[in-house]
């Protein structure tokens, strides 16, 4: 369960960075203390769905977006697709497009 809190917290941080706002500003927008936002982002707090809903609303991100692609992979097994998803989703739209083009080019040349 703690792994889910870490993944969601990381996503909250990524979306906050994409908006270019501080933890303090996100706290203001969502009605929480900045310390609480930091604890959520680090996966230290297991926030209620109500709290996550307020934060997602402040970020203008749907709850489904925060929770998509989370599964119950064992802790000893790496989930490479999820790691790639997390990495790419933390980037700006233009960076995402560049990464995608690079992946397509690599895929094109692996067959040769």
- Class for the domain spanning 2-110: mainly alpha
For the chain, give every domain's residue range: 2-110
pLDDT tens string 15-26 = 998 889 999 999
Whether the CB-CB separation of 32 and 55 falls below 8 Å is answered with yes
3-state secondary structure of 74: coil
pLDDT at 92 over 90: no
pLDDT tens string 25-55 = 999 999 999 999 999 999 999 999 999 999 9
Q: Which of 33, 26, 89, 86 is nearest to 59 (CA)?
A: 26
Supply 44's token pair. 């230290």
Reported as half-sphere exposure (CB side, CA atoms, 13 A), residue 44 has a value of 7
Give the number of other CB atoms < 10 A from CB of residue 46.
Answer: 14
């Amino acid at each position: 369960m703690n792994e889910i809190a870490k993944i969601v917290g990381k996503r909250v941080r990524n979306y906050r960075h994409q908006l270019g706002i501080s933890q303090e500003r996100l706290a203001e927008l969502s009605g929480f203390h900045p310390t609480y936002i930091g604890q959520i982002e680090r996966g230290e707090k297991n926030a209620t769905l109500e709290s996550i809903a307020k934060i997602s609303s402040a970020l203008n991100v749907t709850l489904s977006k925060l929770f998509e692609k989370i599964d119950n992979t064992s802790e000893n097994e790496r989930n490479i697709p999820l790691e790639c998803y997390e990495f790419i989703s933390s980037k700006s739209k233009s960076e995402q497009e560049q990464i995608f083009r690079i992946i397509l080019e690599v895929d094109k040349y692996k067959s040769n």
